[in-house]
Chain A
Amino acid sequence: MKNIIYVALCLMTALLGYSQIILEDPSLSRNFRAEVKSLDEFAARFNGAESHPEISDDSLMNLQNIKALFDLEKVIGKDDRSQFTSYAMSFCDSIFTYNIRFSLCDSNVFALAKCKVKFENRDRPISLILVQEKTSDGYTRWGIAGVKGLVKSGIIKAKKFYNISPVEHEIHFMGLSDILNHNTHKAFGYRSLNNSIDQLNVFLTLIQTGLIEFEIVDNLEIYCMNVPGFIFIISEVLRESTNSGWLISDLFPATSEEKKQFINNLFIEQ
């Protein structure tokens, strides 16, 4: 009986709650329908499967939809607006000429997440590069493909090399217990001169051992290199407008070689 009363109370509460949701401002729903709410919706508009609600269904619909995927406030604010507009037109041409479809699960698409982690009781900025991929059994997943910033943020000290005594072999390297255990902050400096540091492995080890605590993602950008001749960046913008959500925040021309270099730079700490 008590349960029935409780359920009835919950139902009444829910119904009364709905009554307080008042539809007053028509722009809220209009903007929300137009907003690119998810990258799924971005892909649907980019690929011509869905349309911005205020774009008419005619022969220019697909082109207009691609144009509407640009962050127009950013475009207007650009110093080199006319050049950017010309790039944007060539970008659209390239999409239609090569019949490019957008998918997050593409080897030419990377997510760059600028994050905060806690190390030795201090917040430190790092960046994670993530890729979406398919597993052998057909599941879609994100995986961490790279980490940047461990050196710059002071989590690892790797710029300097430290020497292990050249005579240490004679005593079967018994000094290692002294070198490695007592000045741990110098650890990476004892690597061979030819060895580079894999920051991803270091990061995951520090996470596994609990020495780094992941805090928050401050900023997220999606880097896309699947349109021939261009690199474009997608970011999420919130504003009360019919041009909001996941939008193209930047675009620049790039040859295949420049794209390769760009990807390398994404993974390498500057």
Chain B
Amino acid sequence: MLLLIGFSVSAQEMTDEHKKEIQDRVKSKVEEFQGYLSSIVNTELSDVRRNAAKESALALFMGEGEPYYIFDEDGNKERHREVRMQISSVNSGNIGSKAVKKYLQDSYDNIHKYLKVTIQAADAVRVDNIYKVGEGQYECMAYFAQKYIAYGKDGNIRYGDFTRKKIKVHITAKEIPAVGIIFEAKLGDIYVESTEKTR
């Protein structure tokens, strides 16, 4: 059984060791998400596998992509909308947002228009802005960049963009007997800046 631990230290007293553990944990979660995202749009995979990737990706998010509740410091139930993705297009200046669940479903549905989709990722995920926000609760940001290219049935590039994604990550410190403290990470809202390269 996992026990929520109560730290008596303040946010400023987070040890370097804990900070590093949080960064590693978040990086692996984000890489996992990138992997699922890549699978969802992989035209070489069956729909069953792509769908499994979509479900696994959703499981990484707060509320698994649905509205959710958390308890505030006074023990009151706090209602939250579903996790969303805000997309800002550098080319058009438009900003829009959609639920992550819908984004993943759209990514799943869209590939049938294309022959092949490739995603190139920058070789690093940065994690910083780590703050303690409550007893055993932390929030931080993860940053990564991707290039997405979709080829039409004729083999020509139909769409391409360069996106920079920032994900808010919610961390809960838990103590497992005989193991020690582990940091559980759940992904939150995503901010995406996109530069379209080709149409």
Interfacial residues, chain A to chain B (CB-CB below 8 A): 6, 9-10, 12-18, 20-25, 28-29, 31-33, 35, 37-41, 137-140, 216-218, 236, 238-240
A217-B45 Cα distance, complex, nearest whole Å: 37
B122 and A21 contact, CB distance less than 8 A: no
Tell me the chain B residues, 135-164 only, with Cβ under 8 Å from chain A: 141, 143-145, 147, 162, 164
The 8 A-B residue pairs with the shortest CB-CB distance in the complex, in nearest-first order: A17-B39, A138-B10, A32-B122, A17-B38, A40-B128, A17-B35, A37-B143, A29-B123
How far is B38's CA from A37's CA once the two chains are assembled, in angstroms? 22
- Report the contact-size class of chain B (Cβ under 8 Å from the partner): 35 or more
- State whether A238 touches B42 (Cβ < 8 A): no
B1 interface residue, CB < 8 Å from A? no
For B56, the chain A residues whose CB sits under 8 A away are 10, 13-14
- Nearest chain B CB to A36's CB is how many angstroms away? 10
Tell me if B164 and A238 are in contact (CB < 8 A). Answer: yes
Distance in angstroms from B55 CB to nearest chain A CB is: 8
Q: Is the CB of B34 within 8 A of A32?
A: no
Output the residue of B10, B45, B52 with the most chain A CB within 10 A.
B52
Are B120's CB and A25's CB within 8 A?
yes
Contact call A39/B162, Cβ cutoff below 8 A = no
With A21-B121, A25-B120 already in contact, the answer to whether A13 and B39 are too (CB < 8 A) is yes
Chain A residues with Cβ below 8 Å from B41 are 20
B114 proximal to A (CB < 8 A):
no
Which residue in A22, A37, A38, A39 is a CB contact (below 8 Å) of B120?
Answer: A22
Binding site for A on B (CB under 8 A): 10-12, 32, 34-42, 44-45, 48-50, 52-53, 55-56, 86, 90, 95, 97, 118-124, 126, 128-129, 131-134, 141, 143-145, 147, 162, 164, 166, 193, 195
- Contacts A21-B34, A238-B193 known; A13 to B49 CB distance under 8 Å? yes
Contact A18/B52 with A25-B147, A239-B195 known, Cβ cut-off 8 Å: no
Could you say which residues of chain A place their CB within 8 Å of the CB of B11? Answer: 138-140
CB distance from B27 to the nearest CB of A (A): 14
Q: Which residues of B contact A140 (CB under 8 A)?
A: 11, 131
Contacts of B42 in A (CB 8 A): 16-17, 20
A137-B10 CB under 8 A given contacts A16-B42, A17-B53, A22-B120? yes
Contact B36 A28 (CB under 8 A): no
B39 touches A16 (CB 8 A): yes
Q: Nearest Cβ in chain A — how far from B138, in angstroms?
A: 11
